[in-house]
A = this chain, B = another copy of it.
Amino acid sequence: MKHFTQFESKELGQELIDLALSYKANPRLDLAKGQGKRVGCIFLNPSLRTRVSTQIAAQNLGMEAIVLNMDKEGWALEMKEGAIMNKGTVEHIKDAAGVLGSYFDILAIRAFPSLTNREEDVNDFVFGQFVKYCGIPVVSLESAIRHPLQSLADQITIREFSLEKKKPKVVLTWAPHIKAIPHAVANSFAEWTVGMGHDLTITHPAGYELDPKFSQGATIEHNQSKALEDADFVYVKNWSGFNDYGKIISTDPSWMLTEKHLKNAKNAKVMHCLPVRRNLELSDEILDGARSLVQKQAENRIYAAQAVISTLLG
């Protein structure tokens, strides 16, 4: 593994889950491994869980983590090749990424999509420019189209709660929201769930089709009630339109997951990547009840990051 930016193979996925669970049992198992090494955490967008869990993961490996909130502490980066920089951008990504590459052993980067320029977003342009120019291993802390650390934490959680069932039924269900939300979590969750060999059903109102690159291998079922039948894991997530790019097509409140929706899935565990808007995406009764795995997922973010950084250290 050279970078950690997407799902690569079931074998690697299994290895990372195994390693993460061994760190969960003993967080300081490899405390000597990262001594004298540094991870730079570059945020082009805000973060709570991702920032803190990555810092803790690095510390558990004996590494120093240095956080750069480029949106607040830094300045506007120029992304275009050959640009004449006589406007608002202060530094070219080539130069900034090159310097960061010389300061750190690993670079962890968060770069959200614009949701206005689909071609640029689909090509993960901003994130890709960092990878291209920094010259060191990169960990995605959520790019325009993927959030693989979240997905790894999700798969660790599914492993922990499906010990007896080898091929659980997993459902990814769209939820209402008041803002246009990126596709990264949904894309990555589908990519990893199918990739790890689980049975995935995706359900959403018409018009919310994901990029087929990510939904391939999953069953698409527009009838939410039918999709949820006998589910073992229900992943709740909003996303905006992909075909009608970045648009809010529906806010139909009947799609908000409640206990009633799970009447035919009595053992279903419910997942969400957080932050969650209560009583808009998911009801209090579910979040505060026994089905909810959201706190477990968040805790597993530490060990997902730790397994990834450890593997990149080699």
Cβ–Cβ < 8 Å partners of A82 in chain B: 279, 284
Within 8 A of B (CB), among A74-100: 74-75, 78, 82-87, 89-92, 94-96, 98-100
Cβ–Cβ < 8 Å partners of A47 in chain B: 73
Central interface residue in A38, A95, A274, by most chain B CB within 10 Å: A95
**Are A56 and B103 neighbours in the complex by a CB distance under 8 Å?**
yes
CA distance A40 to B46 in the complex (A): 17
CA distance A94 to B282 in the complex (A): 14
Within 8 A of B (CB), among A221-262: none
**Are A98 and B295 neighbours in the complex by a CB distance under 8 Å?**
yes
Cβ–Cβ < 8 Å partners of A91 in chain B: 48, 274-276
**Are A64 and B59 neighbours in the complex by a CB distance under 8 Å?**
yes
Main secondary structure on chain A at its contact with chain B?
mixed
Given contacts A53-B103, A95-B274, A278-B85, contact A48 B74 (CB under 8 A): yes
* Chain A residues in the interface with B (C-beta under 8 A): 27-28, 36, 38, 40, 46-49, 51-53, 55-56, 59, 64, 66, 68-70, 72-75, 78, 82-87, 89-92, 94-96, 98-100, 102-103, 178, 274-280, 284, 287-288, 294-295, 298-299, 302
